[in-house]
Each structure stands twice: as C-alpha cells, then as structure tokens.
Structure 1
Amino acid sequence: MLYRVEGLVIRSTDYGEGNKIITLLTPTYGKQGVVVRGAKKLKSRYGALAQLFTYGDFSYYKSGTLGNLNSGEILESFHELREGLEGPAYAAYAAELTDRAINDDEAAAYLFHQLKACQTALAEGKDPQIVLRAYEMKIVNAAGYAPLLDECVSCGKSQGPFRFSAIAGGALCLQCRHRDPSALELEETVWKLLRVFSALDLRRLGNITVRESSKRQLQLAMRRWMDTHLNLVLKSRNFLDQWEKYGDMLGERMKRPEPSAKPEEAGDGTV
C-alpha cells in the first residue's frame, strides 16, 4: 500500500551497504520506519531526506513492519540544528527522547506539532534550556505521566507552599511532605513555569528570560521526574549534561574578573 505523509526524522541508522532506515514522527500514522535505499551514496537522490531533524513530505510503500521510500520532498531541512555543538546537542536530545519515550500508538498529531515547534524554536535561537524543559513536559504528558501541580497529591490542599515530589506524583503540601523527605523545594517562579509548560502549546512559545538558578531547578525537577517515571538511558542526554556543565563553567569564568583588574574595569555585572 502507498502512503504519503508529512514527517520529522527522529532517528536515522545505517542499513546494509548504502541504505538507511529512518524513523518518522508523523501527524497521521504516529511513528513510522522507512528504508531509504542508496541514502549513503554521494549522488543519492534522497540522501538529504534521511538526515536527522529533516521535515519533509514522504511517499512510501508498506506491506510489513518497514516501509520503502518511493519519493519525497524536503519541506524544512533545519540545517541550523546540525551546525556547531549546541544546536545538535539539544535537537538530538529532543529527537531521541521522542523516539524512546513514546510508543507508536501514543505519537499523535499534537506531539508531532510540538516537536516541530521545538525544533523551530531551537533553530530560531530561543533559550534551548527553556525550550527543552517545555518539550519534556509535552513528552511526559503524552506518555501519561503528567505531574499534579495545582494541589497536594496526598490531601488535595490547593494552597501552597508545596514541595515537588517525583515519587508521590507532583506537589506535596508542608503537612504531607513527610511522605517524601527528598521532595524538592522550588522557587515560586519555577512552580509557575512548570504549570505554564504543562498547559502551553509550544507553537505559541515566545522568548522567556529565566534566571540561571531557576533554570537549574527546572532541569533538576524534570530530570528527577523523568528518571522516576520514564527511566530512560539516553546517549544524547549524557552529552547534553556534559555540555551544560561546561557551559556553566565557561560562564562563570567569563563573569569572574581578572585578579589584576580594578573594580571599575570589571564591569557592573548582573545579579
């Protein structure tokens, strides 16, 4: 049977001498595996279609588990996400997370549009840490593990302050925090962002400026949540963790004045 779909390439692996198998996230059929024959050859007609992050129009025949590409057209190459280190690191994490965390039947049209919006935001240069935290919330929602953020998961109390507990399922009030001594104490800004990310359509994501301390808490909260409920080991995450740690170290070195500099020469800094 011949299928024609829009799709985002979320995985691309070598197959045989000169072929590739790509995994597409589509709005109509969820995740689809398609063989692109000759994709590794220099003069391949469809080699570019098999590149990670590509958004295209794909036509393929399918009678079993895998389809065979018949024709295709690139709609958006997202070449920015394959340049440098930062773009590929964050985009690869989003793609691998989608591939590993979501079953074929859970990959609906909404998630397709969220991933496309995520890639667009990264390509436009929006804060990648904020973009990824928002997209992680889309993933846990799609997988059926959304945290309860507006009331205590234990007693139902709607008035904070709360602690964030991955084990308990979300917010814990102070009277119930004994249920998880490791629950996180988060800034009120972080609570607001978690609630916004849970309801937000990423296609409407603007430029958000967030303090570094808040970004670190967001990362910790989402990582602890996903480790508890999804329990995935992702190659891209290991690299990203190293990259973000290096970025923090680099930022500290850039902000730290030289020992010989006078106060007025070091600048006024940012609090």
Structure 2
Amino acid sequence: MLYRAEGIVIRSMDYGEGNKIITLCTEKSGKVGVLVRGAKKIKSRHAALTQPFTYGEYVFFRNGTGLGTLNAGEIIESHHILREDLMKAAYSSYACELLDRVLQDEETGAFWFHQLKACLTALQKDKDLQIIINLYEMKILQAAGYGPELDVCISCGQERADEEMLVSPRLGGVLCRRCKHLDPPAMSVSPKTLKLLRVFARLDLRRLGNIDVKDATKAELKVVMRALMDMQLGLRLKSQNFLDQMDKYDI
C-alpha cells in the first residue's frame, strides 16, 4: 500500500552498500521506518531526504506494519543550519534520540511531532539552546505520563510558599519541607527556578518567544531537569553523553 506522510528524520543509518534506513516521526502514523535505496550513492536523488533533522513529505510503499520503501519525497525544511553548527547539531541530535527512545512504534505521534518540529525550528534560530531543550524535555516527560507535580506537595497535597518547596526527582514533583523525610535527597531550588519549571509545564513549545534567564537560574534548571529525566525515564543516550563532554570541556 502506498502512503504519503509529512515526517522528520530522527534517525538515519547505513544499510548494505548503497542504502539507508531512516526513522521518521510523523504526525498521523507515529514513528515509521523507511528504506531508501541508493541513498548513499553520490548521484542519488533521495540522499538529501535521509539527512538527520530533515522535515519533508515522504511517499513510500508499505505492507502491514513493517519497513516501508521510499518511492518519492520532497523536502519542506532541510534544517541544514542544525547540521552545520556543532552545538545546534548536538542539541538537535539529543532531541531526536530522546523522542526516538520514548515514542513507541505506531504510537499516535501528533503531539510528539509538533513538539519536535517546534524544537528544531527554535534551535535553528538564535534562541537559548539550553532553555529550548529543557522546555522540550518537560514536554517529553508530560507526553510520556511523567510530568512532574509542581503546584502542591506531591505527598500531603498542600500548597506551600515556594521557599518551602523542594524538588523530588524520585517522587516526580515538589515536596514541602514537612514531608522531606519521605525523600531526604530532595533538591533545594530557588523560587525563580520553580516558577520557570511551572512556566515550562504550561507552555507549548510552538508558542516559545525569547526568554531571558540568568546564568545561575539556568545552571540550577539544568541540574533539576537532568535529575528528573534520569529518575523518571532512566535513559542512557549517546547524544546526552556527547553534550556532557561538551560541558566538561566548555565547548
């Protein structure tokens, strides 16, 4: 059966001597694998369609739920800027790998697709890369069913002053100091960071404007989001390791 779908290339791998297999995140069909014959050949008319982060329209044959075979395609947005800048490429790779690991095959992908599309669009512009990724991480957590409770204590259900709230990555939300004994390693965060986390929880990436965040708040936010991601999803991503190395050497 012939399918036509708009999709974003979240993974591209060599297959055989001259072919590639790409994984697309699509709006209506979720995650789809497509074989692109001859894509590695210099004169291939489909080579550009297999580049990571490429957003395009793909036409492919597919029987059942197996691997599709590309018939034709057209690039809507190449996102070549993301591949040409080391930092943008690193963050874009992380965004794609994260979605690839969390989104199951055939799972309805409309929300995931639009958030990834918005994330890559924002990364291509001169906006704060870390803020974009932290917001994207929050959307991934929420879509996967692990969105943190940030308004009331996750234990007693009481609303407290921000100064009395801790963040518990293990419990998945904020914990008041009276309930700290339930998770002694719960993290102290500034009210500014807590407010920003709440903004992330409510904001759609497609509506992201320019957000000016102080370095101290950004550093704290990064630690909190990494802890939430590690504790709630428990993924080990190659792209995350690369970002860690870039931080280590301050690239």
TM-score by structure 1 length? Answer: 0.89
Partner of residue 243, structure 1: 246
SS of the residue corresponding to residue 97 of structure 1 reads helix
Larger Rg: 1
How far is 1:244 from its partner?
2.6
Question: In the aligned structure 1, how far is the partner of 2:142 from the partner of 2:105?
Answer: 15
Q: CA deviation at 1:181?
A: 1.0
Match of 1:73 in 2: 74
Alignment of 1:34-45 (within 5 A): 34-45=34-45
Q: 1:191 to 1:82 in 2, by over 3 A?
A: same
Is 2:24–2:34's contact at 8 Å kept on the other side of the alignment? yes
Query: 2:127 aligns to what?
Result: 126
- SS of the equivalent of 1:87 reads helix
The residue aligned with 2:50 is: 50
- Matching of residue 26 in structure 1 with residue 26 in structure 2: yes
- Give the drift of 1:106: 4.1
The answer to whether the Cα contact below 8 Å between 2:18 and 2:39 also exists between their aligned partners in 1 is yes
Partner of 2:156: 155
For 2:19 and 2:107, the matched residues in 1 are separated by 28
> Once the 2 structures are TM-superposed, how far is the Cα of residue 214 of structure 1 from its aligned partner?
1.1
The answer to whether the 8 A contact 1:106-1:143 is kept is no
| Residue identity matched to 2:39 | A
How far the C-alpha of 1:105 sits from its partner, in A, is: 4.5
Q: Indicate how the Cα distance of structure 1 residues 105 and 200 shifts in structure 2: closer, same or farther if over 3 A, else same.
A: farther
- Contact 2:29–2:107 at 8 Å: present in 1 too? no
The answer for the alignment partner of 2:12 in structure 1 is 12
- In the other structure, the counterpart of 2:208 is 205
Q: Retained in 1: the 8 A contact 2:9–2:22? A: yes
- State the Cα distance separating 1:189 from its structure 2 match: 1.2
CA shift, 1:91, in A, is 0.4
In the alignment, structure 1 residue 183 sits paired with structure 2 residue 186 = yes
Counterpart for residue 91 of structure 2: 90
1:107-158: per-residue Cα shift (whole Å, max 9, x none)? 5212211111100111012100000000001111111111100000100011
Distance in 2 (CA, whole Å) between partners of 1:146 and 1:155 is 18
Identity of aligned residues (%): 57
Please list every run of at least 4 consecutive aligned residues from structure 1 whose deviation after the TM superposition is greater than 4 angstroms.
none
Quote the offset at 1:196 in angstroms.
1.0
Distance 1:151 1:90, change over 3 A: same
Partner Cα distance (2:95, 2:3) in 1: 26
Which of the pair has the greater relative contact order for Cα pairs under 8 Å at 6+ separation? Answer: 2
Q: Is the 8 A contact 2:28 2:108 kept in 1?
A: no
Q: Deviations over 1:44-90 (max 9, x none)?
A: 01000000000000000100410000100000000010013111111
CA distance in 2 between counterparts of 1:105 and 1:166 reads 29
Q: How many residues align?
A: 248
Distance 2:107 2:197 in 1: 22
Residue pair 2:32, 2:106 contacting (<8 A) in 1 also: no
CA distance in 2: counterparts of 1:240 and 1:168, whole angstroms: 26
Q: Which residue of the other structure, out of 163, 166, 169, is the alignment partner of 1:166?
A: 169
1:68 partner SS: strand
